Amino acid sequence: MWRYRVVRKKNVTADAIDKKERAHYTYAIHEAYYDNNGHVGAVTQDPIEPFGENIEELRHAWVMMAEAFGLPILDYDNIPEPGYERKEDQIGSVLDERLKELETGEVKGIPWEDVKEGLQEKYGPFDEEEYEKQVEEERVEKEKIHGEAFIGTSTLEELIDKIHADYREYVKRDRTESPWKYTTETAEPGVPPDHPSLHLFPADSETVLCGSFPTACRVLRTNTGERACVCRDLV
């Protein structure tokens, strides 16, 4: 499972004059990845900004990030959390397997063409031109809906309430249409428990894995210091 969390990061710099080290802190939103018991085992190396391929996705990302302020602050240097168990972390377990395969030379990575071929075998031929047309039509339609529903809202409080209500309706609808995207512990979107097609590889890998899905990749900082990429949106 993953969700957005507030992460505190300690930055140490040396004074240019007296050479003394001084620490200051920064706070940001990161993606956090959990073991099966709800303990964080990895966070994204860099902060995450609200993003969407259409205005609706951007609104929903903003709400999910806002919910992070209601959770305890994570310390970047104390990940994993106390109680975290690697064997209970499905992402960590898959990562260990991938790293072992890479170290032994059994696997050098998963080229995008192989991933694409596997997706087509599972879901059928992919018409990129038709897909792009649908995405554009959806983008325009959702921007129109956004303008009618949210633009011109008189107060910030009312606007926030409307955006949150819209998100809750989306979650309710999406849970029915795509139940695999949700964990049993939470009503929020998360990585499915069995990770049937989870792709992980070292962050310095030259393998082009995500193809036309660059926003699906996240660089993780894990409990043993590995830097790895997880492409969760290809599941």
Model confidence pLDDT, tens digit, residues 185-224:
555 554 433 333 333 444 444 333 333 333 445 555 544 4
pLDDT at 7 over 60: yes
Instruction: Give pLDDT, residue 180.
Output: 73
Q: Residue 44 has which token pair?
A: 């994204």
Eight-state DSSP code of residue 146: H
Domain ranges of the chain: 2-234
- Which residues, in sequence order, are CB contacts of 64 under 8 Å at separation 6+? 3, 4, 167, 188, 189
Contact 37, 222 (CB under 8 A): no
Instruction: Give pLDDT, residue 51.
Output: 92
Structure confidence at residue 235 as a pLDDT band (50, 70, 90): very low
H/E element, 227: strand 227-231
Q: Residue 25 has which token pair?
A: 């802190």
Q: Residue 153 has which token pair?
A: 């809202």
What would the pLDDT profile of 158-187 be if each residue is shown by its tens digit? 999 999 999 999 999 998 888 877 765 555
Instruction: Give pLDDT, residue 218.
Output: 52
Helix (H) and strand (E) counts for the chain? 5, 7
What would the pLDDT profile of 92-109 be if each residue is shown by its tens digit? 777 677 667 767 776 656
What would the pLDDT profile of 51-98 be if each residue is shown by its tens digit? 999 999 999 999 999 999 999 999 999 988 888 888 777 777 776 776
Instruction: Give pLDDT, residue 187.
Output: 52
Instruction: Give pLDDT, residue 76.
Output: 94
The three-state DSSP-derived secondary structure of 118-142 is HHHHHHCCCCHHHHHHHHHHHHHHH
Nearest one of 60, 80, 95 to 189, comparing CA atoms = 60
Report the distance separating Cα 4 and Cα 210, nearest Å.
Answer: 22
Largest CA distance in the chain: 65
Task: Tell if the pTM clears 0.85, that is, is over it.
Answer: no
Structure confidence at residue 154 as a pLDDT band (50, 70, 90): very high
Contact 84, 74 (CB under 8 A): no
Instruction: Give pLDDT, residue 116.
Output: 76
